[in-house]
Amino acid sequence: MRHLKNFREHLFNMSALGKKIKILLLACIVAIPLTSCFEDMDDNISFSSLGVKDFVWKGMNLVYLYKPEVPDLANDRFTNDEDYNNYLNGFDTPEDLFESLKYLPDDVDRFSRIYSNYLDLQNLLSGTSLSNGLEFNLYFVPGSDSEIFGAITLVLNNSPAENAGLQRGQIFRAINNQNLNLNNFNDLLELNSYTLNFADYDDNGTTEIADDTVILNGETEDLTKVAYTENPVYKTEVLSIDGINIGYLMYNRFTSNFNSALNSAFSQFQAEGVTELVLDLRYNGGGSVQTAAYLGSMITGQFNGEVFSKTFHNDNLQNLDTNYVFTNSIEGGGSINSLNLNKVYVLTTNNRTASASELVINSLKPYIDVVVIGQNTAGKTQASQIVYDSSTLFTTEGINPNHSYAMLPLIANSTNVNDQLVPSDGLVPDIEIAESPLTFGVLGDVNEPLLAAAISEITLADRPLQQIDNYSNSWQEIKSLKLESSIEKSMFIE
């Protein structure tokens, strides 16, 4: 992570009636913890929930991307110490204060988070979390607007779910013998240990969903979540079809700890003479911006030194604005294995392809042809960074020992070289095709629908892009907010 090197260039003053409240955030962050950076106020704030709220407000006042849009973050919001303290005391918890400071949380800032234990957050960003290795989609049972069933989309390698023999495409209807519904599904799925109750899906031989049934079949599997570190390089294949060597890479998270594993996958593609690449990002919700730039450099190679993407911060932190460039080496990791491609095929799904995945698509488009196959992406163009109550803000150096809170707010917008953002409603696919519980297929298999569509485009490249007629868009997929908001699938700046 980069240190804030030029804070002394910035100084903020809050207008006050009576004495002025000087906010010396940028001036004093390099020297003392953030919670003691406000002159005058700190004498009146002892460590408590109030002390954490003090950190939350000051941190957001400094770094938040949407600070100008949030009146409560204005520099002249408070007239004196008492006014400020009364404001903080108006919130029951630091979490309540943090949520109140988010800009349009249902539409714009769906991604900023606060954590009571920064160690948990660090683990998440490094790829370690409590998991049984199961990923799934949730849907309404046909004919119901409250009953739910699940379909396994991904079984992570070397996980409890894989060890139990679970497979992509399996259907479950209940957990611990309780049928899933809108009222209980989050609570049941968040249990550390549970029993999956499997079901059979019957389409009754028609393409109409209304007459389908989901019936428990008596099969079960016990699963327990463990501390699990995911290698995001899930699967690599080299498919030789019609004399064309097609590389297939399923990549599930931009985790810097696994940059070497990603580079090794491209070494395999180089060695086997890959001339076409299918990049499967359907379940990749994001991660490190720098790793995204490395991936773009592996796909290409002919644009070394040119701008891959840009980040723009708020007015307070403009000195942190950065151009990420195409490169021929990984910092501390050796030379990049590049394919020098002029075209890439990217597989996406609705809401689960997000952030750094969208960044790769958006940033490559000015340079090469990017054919997107699947569904609209999530539409996340902003980047986050951990904010600690520390002397350096973005690192743990000089961290306040009295609490373990940290924030991961949106602090920057990310664009491509042409200053184009990812649209808030996502990137539209060139070939629209949606997964459904009946058509998942085997990942990496030539008959899996999304990969099959890519292969068809590669082998029949002289014909126009074709939209694929499928009825799977009719499925009523449920979004679990607690699961969907997991920060391990977010774009962040290191």
Residues 84 and 158 in one domain: no
Contact 10, 27 (CB under 8 A): yes
Q: Is the pLDDT of residue 474 over 60?
A: no
What pLDDT shows up at residue 2? 35
Q: What CA–CA distance (Å, rounded) separates 344 from 429? A: 13
What pLDDT shows up at residue 492? 80
Residues 168 and 282 in one domain: no
Residues 462 and 383 in one domain: yes
H or E stretch including 344?
Answer: strand 343-347
Q: Is the pLDDT of residue 149 over 70?
A: yes
> With bands split at pLDDT 50, 70 and 90, how would you rate the model's confidence at 125?
confident
Instruction: Point out the domain boundary residue: 97, 118, 142.
Output: 97
Q: Does residue 115 lie within any of the structural domains?
A: no
Q: Report CA-CA distances (Å) from 173 to 155, 179, 196, 442.
A: 18, 6, 8, 22
Residues 315 and 434 in one domain: yes
In this structure, which amino acid lies at residue 458?
Answer: I
Q: Does residue 37 lie within any of the structural domains?
A: yes
Region 408-433 average pLDDT: 96
Counting Cβ atoms within 10 Å, is residue 347 exposed (0-12), middle (13-18) or buried (19+)? buried
Query: Residue 184's CB: how many other CB atoms inside 10 A?
Result: 14
Q: Does residue 112 lie within any of the structural domains?
A: no
What pLDDT shows up at residue 20? 30
Q: Does residue 193 lie within any of the structural domains?
A: yes
Region 179-200 average pLDDT: 96
**Lowest-pLDDT choice from 9-23, 26-40, 195-209, 373-387:** 9-23
> With bands split at pLDDT 50, 70 and 90, how would you rate the model's confidence at 350?
confident
Q: Is the pLDDT of residue 389 over 70?
A: yes
Q: What CA–CA distance (Å, rounded) separates 170 from 198? A: 8
Q: Phi/psi zone of residue 443: left (φ > 0), alpha (ψ -120 to 50 degrees), beta? A: beta
What pLDDT shows up at residue 370? 98
Region 20-29 average pLDDT: 30
What pLDDT shows up at residue 460? 85
Residues 194 and 243 in one domain: no
Q: In terms of residue numbers, what domain contains 199?
A: 129-229
Closest CA to 230 of 336, 333, 349, 124: 124
Closest CA to 143 of 215, 217, 209: 209
Region 370-393 average pLDDT: 94
What pLDDT shows up at residue 493? 82
Residues 225 and 271 in one domain: no
Residues 27 and 136 in one domain: no
Highest averaged pLDDT of the listed ranges 107-111, 203-207, 300-304: 300-304
> With bands split at pLDDT 50, 70 and 90, how would you rate the model's confidence at 12?
very low
Residues 206 and 253 in one domain: no
Mean pLDDT of the chain: 87
Region 167-196 average pLDDT: 96
> With bands split at pLDDT 50, 70 and 90, how would you rate the model's confidence at 14?
very low
Q: Does residue 346 lie within any of the structural domains?
A: yes
Region 188-199 average pLDDT: 97
What pLDDT shows up at residue 443? 97
What are the respective helix, strand and coil percentages of the chain, to the nearest 5? 25, 30, 45
What pLDDT shows up at residue 489? 55
Q: Does residue 446 lie within any of the structural domains?
A: yes
What pLDDT shows up at residue 212? 92
Q: Does residue 307 lie within any of the structural domains?
A: yes
Instruction: Point out the domain boundary residue: 229, 254, 278.
Output: 229
Region 273-294 average pLDDT: 97
pLDDT over 90 percentage in the chain: 76
Residues 308 and 324 in one domain: yes
Contact 276, 246 (CB under 8 A): yes
Structural domain total, the chain: 3
Contact 489, 253 (CB under 8 A): yes
**What CATH number should be reported for the domain holding residue 159?**
2.30.42.10
pLDDT tens-place string over residues 222-257: 999 999 999 999 999 999 999 999 999 999 999 999
**What CATH number should be reported for the domain holding residue 459?**
3.90.226.10
Query: Residue 195's CB: how many other CB atoms inside 10 A?
Result: 15
Residues 222 and 310 in one domain: no
Instruction: Point out the domain boundary residue: 199, 229, 259.
Output: 229
Q: Does residue 172 lie within any of the structural domains?
A: yes
Residues 178 and 77 in one domain: no
| Cα dihedral across residues 101, 381, 263, 345: positive or negative | positive
What pLDDT shows up at residue 207? 82
| Cα dihedral across residues 438, 379, 488, 297: positive or negative | positive
Residues 237 and 217 in one domain: no
